[in-house]
Structure 1
Amino acid sequence: MTVMTDRPHMLTEDFEAVARIAAREVEGLRLEFIDGVIRSKAVPDGDHGRIIVWLSRICMQHHPGLWLHAGQGVKVEQYREGRAIPDGVLAHEDAFVGQGDWVDPAPILMAVEVTSWDSDTVRRDHVEKPRAYAETGIPVYLLIDRAKCEVSVYSQPNGQRYESIHIVPYGTDIALPDPVGITLQTEVLKDWVR
């Protein structure tokens, strides 16, 4: 049997229909479509949600007109054929008004992922998503890795990958470069690890 690796599992429009039905029929099921492959996204636990609230508060304090939109579906990859659900995207408060389930990524200043405890989180959050967000041109990708107790900041997308990656352990301050322009004090993240 031959396995086709040069084509997606399905057309993007078909994926959107399947994702809409799955979300309606199965509580908490969220599907993503990256590199032509369908993946399920884990339902966030309490610590995961607390990290997003913490980050939201910091972003709003520094940039009152910007919001960290949680769980917003985004069109990703070079030709916008992929579909990702970042844990948060930093954009103007009205950036996605009037758009559907999957929004145009142009207004996004930063995509955020907080690792989950599912088996494919390393591949998804450390490999697939940084590539998809860089291809999309999202200026900053923030990854909070709860298993490694590290914070990674990816920046300077070149259309294929991020040229700059800065990784620090929890407890170390880390700068989110422009257009975000915030320094995170990560000591508190130690409180939200299993």
Structure 2
Amino acid sequence: MTVTAERTSHMSVEEFQQIASTAPETVTLEFIDGRIGEKAVPDGNHGRIIQWLTRICMQHRPELWLDSHQGLRVETYRSGCARPDGSLVPAEGFTGQGEWASPAPVLMAVEITSYDADTDRLGRIDKPRAYAESRIPVYLLIDRDSQEAVVHSEPDGVRYQHTARIPFGKDVELPDPVGIVLDTEPLKNWVR
């Protein structure tokens, strides 16, 4: 279940971080577009997709790490906080940073859709904008509803200028600076 508060744009990112730091470990909060939201608890297939992608990234780019825990300060002037399902970074990319790190070292943000009411707004609208504003070079959305890999690239500080939708089963090219080609056939096994 995802819980989203009504618009709270008057809240500062520092106030959100204080609230998030007192939340129980079983609750993961995000602050995107002036709204506090609880990130959906991932199911087993969601976790399996992260394992699959982590293995591929390690095989092709061993100098990088797909971090699945680090929170990021996102949006214009870092006024939001997101927890991507994965952040592809150099191995030391988040060293010395706190719970909410700068997105500067992130080469690719990854989200996997959950079967909840907020998936459309968060994964398909709010997060692409927030990641583009943060100039994360590639945003990969594994959309289990449409059974597509959606690759956003070429951020201009407002939006991604290029978006490619590739159905599961086809090869997906993750452009530079990622430079990996994914065979998405296995993703067909991890959808409802």
**Could you tell me how far apart the structure 2 residues matched to 1:29 and 1:133 are?**
22
Task: Extract unaligned runs of 5+ from structure 2.
Answer: 1-5
Partner of 1:184: 182
| 1:17 corresponds to | 18
Structure 1 segments of 4+ aligned residues over 6 angstroms from their partners: none
Q: Secondary structure at the match of 2:176?
A: coil
Relative to the length of structure 1, the TM-score reads 0.93
Superposed, which structure 2 residues align to 1:71-82 within 5 Å?
Answer: 71-82=69-80
Counterpart in the other structure of 1:93? 91
**2-side partners of 1:130 and 1:122: how far apart?**
11
How much has 1:9 moved relative to structure 2? Answer: 4.0
- 1: CA distance, partners of 2:56 / 2:10: 39
The equivalences for 1:109-128 within 5 A come to 109-128=107-126
Q: Which residue of 1 aligns with 2:54?
A: 56
Measured in 1, the distance between the counterparts of 2:170 and 2:143 equals 14
Matches within 5 A, 1:19-58: 19-22=20-23, 25=24, 27-58=25-56
Report the 3-state secondary structure (helix = DSSP H, G, I; strand = E; otherwise coil) of the residue aligned with 1:106.
Answer: coil
Assess if the C-alpha contact under 8 Å between 1:9 and 1:38 holds in 2.
no
Between the aligned partners of 2:27 and 2:117, the Cα distance in structure 1 is: 16
State the Cα distance separating 1:20 from its structure 2 match.
1.1
> What is the CA-CA distance between 1:82 and the residue it aligns to?
0.5
Q: Which string of whole-angstrom CA distances, capped at 9 and with x for unpartnered residues, describes residues 148-179 of structure 1?
A: 11110000000100000000111011100000
In 1, Cα distance between equivalents of 2:122 and 2:137:
19
**Residue 158 of structure 1 pairs with residue 159 of structure 2:** no
SS of corresponding position for 2:76: coil
Secondary structure of the structure 2 residue equivalent to 1:79: helix
Is structure 2 residue 164 aligned with structure 1 residue 149? no
- Match of 1:104? 102
The 2-side partners of 1:89 and 1:168 are apart by 21
Over the aligned positions, Cα root-mean-square deviation in angstroms equals 1.3
C-alpha distance in 2, partners of 1:19/1:163? 32
Q: Any idea what the Cα deviations from partners look like across 1:107-126, whole Å, max 9, x if unmatched?
A: 00000000011111011000
Return the offset for 1:28.
2.3
1-side partners of 2:122 and 2:69: how far apart?
Answer: 16
Distance of 1:28 and 1:161 partners within structure 2 = 32
Encode CA deviations 1:60-85: one digit per residue, 9 max, x unaligned.
Answer: 11111100000310000110110000
Aligned to 1:137: 135
Q: Structure 1 CA distance, aligned partners of 2:124 and 2:47?
A: 20
| Deviation by residue 1:80-131 (Cα, 9 ceiling, x = unmatched) | 1100000000001111111110001110000000001111101100000000
Cα separation, 2, equivalents of 1:168 and 1:65: 27
Q: Secondary structure at the match of 1:131?
A: helix
- Looking at structure 2, the residues matched to 14 and 148 of structure 1 have their Cα atoms a distance apart, in angstroms, of 36
CA separation in 2, counterparts of 1:72 and 1:115?
18
